[in-house]
Structure 1
Amino acid sequence: MMRASIIILLSVGLLAPTAQSAEVEFVTCDNGLRCFRPPCPSRDSVLLPSHRRLARTAPDLSRLGEAQHKQLLLGNTGQGSALYAGTVVLAGTLEEGPPTRLVASRIVRPATKAESQLCRRR
């Protein structure tokens, strides 16, 4: 009986859904949503090159260094946050499965004009 229980538990564990993660590049931008208290899902992320929009999904920036945080806050032009304008391409891990989670690990490069415009498409 004990052996059957172990086999059942192992089978259930192997068949249970798991969060998958993959390295992706993306831009993140303002989605126009405004809130009066946190949490506020005011950003969308757009995966590159697929253009898949992750609505109301802002990346976790905890793995970025202090210099990278400052770069994101100033943006490419120094006139506003790159996180709201979609002007910087980030790389990180996409964890599928409720909830979808995006963890930024580095800044890749400035976004092209076409990549920034993906933020404005809905």
Structure 2
Amino acid sequence: MIAGFCLSGAEARSDGQGSYVPCDNGLRCVMAPCPSNSALDLASGKIIKGVSVDIDSLPQQDKALDLSDKLYAGKVVVAGTIESRPHSFNGKRYSLPTLVATGIERAAKDSERGHCSAH
């Protein structure tokens, strides 16, 4: 069980946010941008590939949950929104999906981690 929840799923969706299970998907590449992370959108079932997770907007109690390993392995359901943000790699600009996390909703179920390499 994960303590320190910020938003319930219902509260997140009423604010125009969604629920996502982000994780490492096992893909590796030699050149950026590398789509090694993905996020499952629980509402649509769609997998967003190449997503990075921005945890800057999380409440402090959620940041204290040792998130690095949990996000890598898809162990948490994250409330937030997917934004297209500019990133530069090797002098080229790319617009990449970013999951702007605003809360940790709950532990992810095994069935929600199917797109993860480390489930």
1:30 is matched with which residue? 24
The alpha-carbon distance between structure 1 residues 58 and 99, as it changes in their structure 2 partners (threshold 3 A), is closer
2:112 is matched with which residue? 115
Q: Is there any run of 5+ residues in structure 2 with no aligned partner, and where?
A: 1-15, 86-94
Bigger helix share: 1
Matches within 5 A, 1:53-92: 53-73=47-67, 81-92=69-80
What is the alpha-carbon root mean square deviation over aligned residues? 2.8
Percentage of identical aligned residues: 38
Which of 40, 43, 46 is matched with 2:37 structurally?
43
Q: Is there any run of 5+ residues in structure 1 with no aligned partner, and where?
A: 1-21, 75-80
- CA distance in 2 between counterparts of 1:47 and 1:93 reads 10
The two structures have a TM-score, normalised by structure 2, of: 0.62
Which of 47, 52, 73 is matched with 2:46 structurally?
52
1:102 is matched with which residue? 99
* Structure 1 position 73, deviation (Å): 2.8
1:13 is matched with which residue? none
Residues 72-120 of structure 1 show CA distances to partners (whole Å, capped at 9, x for unaligned) of 437xxxxxx1111111000001236954332100000111121122435
Computing the radius of gyration over CA atoms, which structure comes out larger, 1 or 2?
Answer: 1
Q: Which has the higher contact order (CA 8 A, sep 6+)?
A: 2
The two structures have a TM-score, normalised by structure 1, of: 0.61
Which of 84, 89, 93 is matched with 2:81 structurally?
93
Pick which of 30-39 and 88-97 moved more. 30-39
Aligned length: 93
